[in-house]
Amino acid sequence: MKVEELRSDDVAKLKQKLLDSLKEQFNLRMKHATGQLGQNHQVKQVRRDIARIKTVINQKEKGAE
């Protein structure tokens, strides 16, 4: 997920993407804990995507004020 893609979306859509990413992170953590996760790099990738989404949301909200 690239920052340019995120900046083109509105805040409501970003919050939905954030919620989806948080659910995906939870599912990956559960798979990792039970030993079913084959690609461990996905956990790190989703965590960074969540941080990117939160950053863009904060920037848009601060810019709107």
Is 24:53 a contact under the CB 8 Å cutoff? no
| Ranges of H-type helices in the chain | 3-7, 11-34, 41-64
Provide the pLDDT for residue 29: 96
This prediction has a pTM of: 0.90
Task: List the one residue out of 61, 43, 56, 44 whose CA is nearest residue 17.
Answer: 56
Q: Taking the chain, what is the end-to-end CA distance rounded to the nearest angstrom?
A: 27
Provide the pLDDT for residue 63: 85
Provide the pLDDT for residue 9: 92
Task: List the one residue out of 40, 42, 41, 49 whose CA is nearest residue 22.
Answer: 49
Single-letter residue type at 40? N
Segments in the chain below pLDDT 70:
64-65
Sorted by where each starts, the structural domains of the chain and their CATH numbers stand as 3-64 (1.10.287)
